[in-house]
Amino acid sequence: MFNIGSQELLIILLLVFVLFGPRHIPGVARALGKGFGDVQRAMRGMEDHMRRAAEEIPRVTDVEPLDPVPSAPKILPVAGSVEAPPSNLPADDEGATADRPHRGP
């Protein structure tokens, strides 16, 4: 779990012995063991909770693949259709159209 070698373990035990003394080492070891047990139980509980939650999620089987980058629709001109240029005629000129401009007097 922690990948501790024999030399590291010896140094840790020596530090614990110096810091806490021989009388308090059993109590410290008991408290550490209880703490590690509590952490393991909490982890197992969390794993069980996550597993139950994952089982409640419905499975989707019939899914069509999506286009990863949606492309804009391409607008192509229709064959034979030409858009007339905008007319520069005044609005009050009667009888003038884009096809047949008013000839005037």
Would residue 50 count as lying in a domain?
yes
Would residue 34 count as lying in a domain?
yes
Residue 35 and residue 45: Cα distance in Å, rounded? 15
How many domains does the chain divide into? 1
Cβ pair 25, 16 in contact under 8 A:
yes
Would residue 90 count as lying in a domain?
no
Residue 41 and residue 35: Cα distance in Å, rounded? 10
Q: Specify the pLDDT at position 84.
A: 59
pLDDT of residue 93 exceeding 60, the answer is: no
Higher pLDDT, 51 or 80: 51
Cα–Cα distances (Å) from 19 to 25, 32, 47, in that order, read: 9, 15, 36
Q: Specify the pLDDT at position 51.
A: 93
Q: Which domain holds residue 48?
A: 23-56
pTM above 0.75? Answer: no
DSSP state string for 33-53: HHHHHHHHHHHHHHHHHHHHH
Would residue 72 count as lying in a domain?
no
Amino acid letter, 19? L
Would residue 46 count as lying in a domain?
yes
Mean pLDDT of 74-86: 63
pLDDT digits (tens, 9 = 90+) for 20-73: 888 888 888 899 899 999 999 999 999 999 999 988 887 777 777 776 766 666
